[in-house]
Amino acid sequence: SQQGEEDPQALSIQEGENATMNCSYKTSINNLQWYRQNSGRGLVHLILIRSNEREKHSGRLRVTLDTSKKSSSLLITASRAADTASYFCATDAGNQFYFGTGTSLTVIP
Amino acid sequence: GAGVSQTPSNKVTEKGKYVELRCDPISGHTALYWYRQSLGQGPEFLIYFQGTGAADDSGLPNDRFFAVRPEGSVSTLKIQRTERGDSAVYLCASSLGVAGANVLTFGAGSRLTVL
């Protein structure tokens, strides 16, 4: 079974708006990562946040982690049509990675 | 190579047949992972190799599935007596294998269709 669960399952926004997606997980983790998947392609790593970090930035991406609530959020600012993809959180418990169910983001030009 | 290479990209087979899917990881990556992804779902963990040995095969659904990595580089996922429910995209990923800071690099996947 999958470790994480993203919410919402689907999100549709206008270009220029911000997109926020959330991830909840079940067990203790070493770190949490976010990946992106374009239709029909493999997953691409976006950002990693360690369990002792609360917030991390990378370009237009901002990730938060709340280990007490076992949750994380990914914020994409000033969205672009090219950001249209599915986004997955992955939790690292030891050397295994477990992926959530994903959020499908559509950015309308 | 520069990235993770998976072959074939597409495989159509009949129920009951045997299938092999190949993964060529990034050179120097000691860790290799196989995942299965069904339409609209996230990747489902199958098996993880550290070097030549299967460090964790708890995700393999049943004994029809088997994977090897004999020289610690290329890996082959083998599926015997395929069933229609095996249809999915099989993803391979590799990483440096450094605990606590692993980042996965994925291949484009092998799409398996069992008729």
Q: What is the pLDDT of residues A31-78, one digit of tens each?
A: 899 999 998 788 999 999 999 999 999 999 999 999 999 999 999 999
Question: What burial letters (b/e) apply to B25-61, b meaning 16+ CB within 10 Å?
Answer: bbeebbbbbbbbbeeeebbbbbbbbbeeebbbeebbe
Q: How far apart are CA A6 and CA A99, in angstroms?
A: 9
Shortest distance between the Cα of A7 and any Cα of chain B, in A, equals 13
Q: What is the pLDDT of residues A86-106, one digit of tens each?
A: 999 999 876 678 898 899 999
Q: How far apart are CA A10 and CA A4, in angstroms?
A: 16
The count of CB pairs under 8 A between chains A and B is: 65
Tokens of B49: 């190799």
Q: What is the pLDDT of residues B40-90, one digit of tens each?
A: 899 999 999 988 888 889 899 999 999 999 998 999 999 999 999 999 999
* CB-nearest partner of B42 from A41, A45, A102: A102
pLDDT at B98: 65
Contact A94 B99 (CB under 8 A): yes
Tokens of B42: 């996230």
